[in-house]
Structure 1
Amino acid sequence: MEIEGVRTDRLGLLLDQFDQAREMAQVRLAGLGDEEFLWEPVAGCWSIRRRGEAVTPRAYGPGEWVIDKGAPDIPASEYAEVARQAASGMPVAKIADDWSVGVERVEEVLAHTGPPEPDATPVTTIAWRLAHLHSCFAGQWEWTFGERRRDPRELVDFTPSAALALERFWALIDRWREDVATVTEEQLDTVGFSQYPYGSDPDDPYVGVVAGDNLEFIHHMAEIALLRDLWRARPGTAG
C-alpha cells in the first residue's frame, strides 16, 4: 500500500527505515582514514589484526587479517530473548546450540531473577564494528539468497584499508538490499526463509529477521559515529 508515494506495507517500512539509516551512515563515514579506522581508544580493544596477532580465542577470517571474537556466552542483553525462546517451546538443548554454550549456561540464564548485571563487554574499534557488520550481512545474504552452504566466517576478506573496507561493504549491502526488496508477503511470513546458522533465523519468520538486520545495522553505525566524534575530540587534537 502507498499513501502519497510512501509505502506502508511491512517490507516497505523496513526498507525505508534501512535506506534512511544507510544514508545517515554514509554521511557519517565520509573521510574515514586508516589510522582512525584502526584506532584503539582504550587498552584491551577488539579489532581486526594480522593472523597470529589476534588477542581473542575465536578470531576468524579467510585471509591475512582476522576479526577478534571471544569465547561463546549469552550476554545479559540477550537474557530476555533466551526466555522468549524457551517460552515458545524451543528445547533448552537447541537454545544452547544456537548460542554455542552448554545446557547448564542456558539453565542458569533461565533461572536468573531480577535485572541482569551489565556485561563487561570489550570496546571495539571502527574496523571491528564495520567488519562485524560486513560478516553478518554477507552471511545473511549467503544463507537466504545464495547457495546456503558457505561458512559465514569465511566470506569476508578483512582489510586494514578503510577505503577498501567501505567499498566492499557498500557493494555487499547493495546486493543484500536489492534481494530483500524482491521478497514476497508469503516469504516474509515463512519461518526459516533465512537459514543463517549463527542465530535464530531458521526458527523465525523472515520479517523478524529483516527487522533484526535493521537493528544490527543501526546500532553499530551509531557506535561508529560516536567513535568518530571521540577521535576528533581526543587529547592533543586541535579543534
Structure 2
Amino acid sequence: MVPPRLVPLLAQFDFAYARLRGRLAGPVMDSGDGTDTRVEPLTDEEYFWEPVPRCWSVRRRTDGPGARATLLAGAGDWGRDAAAYPHPWPPPFTTLAWRLSHLGEMLALRADHTAGSHRLTRDGHPVPGGAAEALTALEAGASAWRRALLGADDAALDTVGHCTYPHGGDAEEPFADIVWWVNQEVLHHGAEIALLRDLYRDRRR
C-alpha cells in the first residue's frame, strides 16, 4: 500500500512527468485544460540549439568543455558542461540538451541511491548524445524513480538519509522532503524545457 502522505506527491510526479514527456515526444500533449495540442517530436538540431552565446550544453568529449566550463561531466563519448564550486556567476544559460541530461541523471541516480545499488555516480552515468537517446534515458530515470517511491513506507518517508544521493541535501532531510524536491525539479525543469521548445519553434518568425 502506498502511504497516504505519498499519494498526492506520487500523483503530482506522474502528472508533471506525463506533461513533460508529451511536450518532448508528441504527437500531442495535454494543454492543461484537457484538450490535445499538437507537438513536433524533438530533433537533434533542437536538442543542441544554443539560443544565446556561451551556453552550457552537451558536447563531444573530444571537443572539450564550453565557455566558462572546466570539465565535461558524465561518461561516454559525450559530456555535460560543468565546473567545480563555486559555479560561474551569473549562471550560464543551459541548452535543452543540458537540462534533459541533468534531469535524467538526477532521477536515475536518486533512484539507485534509494532502492538500488547505492553506487551510481555522475562520473559513470552516460550523457546522451542526441534527442532520441535523451528521451530514452529520461524515461528510464523516471521509471526507476517511480519504482523507488512505490517501495517507500511511512517509516522510510520519515527517515533522514533514506536516499544516499550525494549531490543534494538527502543526507540531512527526511525522505518525504526529498520526494517533494524531486517533484519540483521535474516541474521547474519541465517548464524551462517547454519554454525552450516554444522559442525554438518561433525562432524565425
What TM-score, normalized by structure 2, do the two folds share? 0.85
2:109 to 125, 139, 142: 139
Counterparts of 1:179 and 1:143, CA distance in 2? 9
1:216 — aligned with what?
185
2:143 to 174, 181, 185: 174
Counterparts of 1:166 and 1:231, CA distance in 2? 18
Whether the 8 Å CA contact 1:126–1:224 is kept in 2: the answer is yes
Cα deviation digits, residues 1-36 of structure 1 (max 9, x gap) = 9xxxxx992200100001110111112112011100
Counterparts of 2:87 and 2:120, CA distance in 1? 25
Cα deviation digits, residues 184-238 of structure 1 (max 9, x gap) = 0110000110111112101110000110011111101110000000001102x5x
Report the Cα offset of residue 74 of structure 1.
7.3
Whether the 8 Å CA contact 1:187–1:193 is kept in 2: the answer is yes
Report the Cα offset of residue 160 of structure 1.
2.4
Report the Cα offset of residue 150 of structure 1.
2.9
Q: Which portions of structure 1, spanning 4 or more consecutive aligned residues, are displaced by more than 3 angstroms?
A: none
Segments of 5+ residues of structure 2 without an aligned counterpart are 26-40
Does 2:156 match 1:187?
yes
Whether the 8 Å CA contact 2:76–2:127 is kept in 1: the answer is yes
Cα deviation digits, residues 75-101 of structure 1 (max 9, x gap) = 9xxxxxxxxxxxxxxxxxxxxxxxxxx
1:19 to 14, 34, 41: 14
Whether the 8 Å CA contact 2:73–2:122 is kept in 1: the answer is no
**SS state at 1:66 partner:** strand
Of Structure 1 and Structure 2, which has the larger fraction of its residues in strand?
2
Whether the 8 Å CA contact 2:78–2:127 is kept in 1: the answer is yes
1:58 to 71, 92, 107: 71
Cα deviation digits, residues 127-160 of structure 1 (max 9, x gap) = 10000011111211121111212323312x2222
Segments of 5+ residues of structure 1 without an aligned counterpart are 2-6, 76-118
* Closer/same/farther in 2, CA of residues 45 and 206 from structure 1, 3 Å limit: same
- What are the residue-to-residue correspondences of 1:1-16 with 2, within 5 Å? 9-16=4-11
* Closer/same/farther in 2, CA of residues 74 and 161 from structure 1, 3 Å limit: closer
Counterparts of 1:70 and 1:41, CA distance in 2? 21
Counterparts of 2:96 and 2:185, CA distance in 1? 15
Q: Tell me how large the CA RMSD over aligned residues is.
A: 1.9
Whether the 8 Å CA contact 2:60–2:79 is kept in 1: the answer is yes
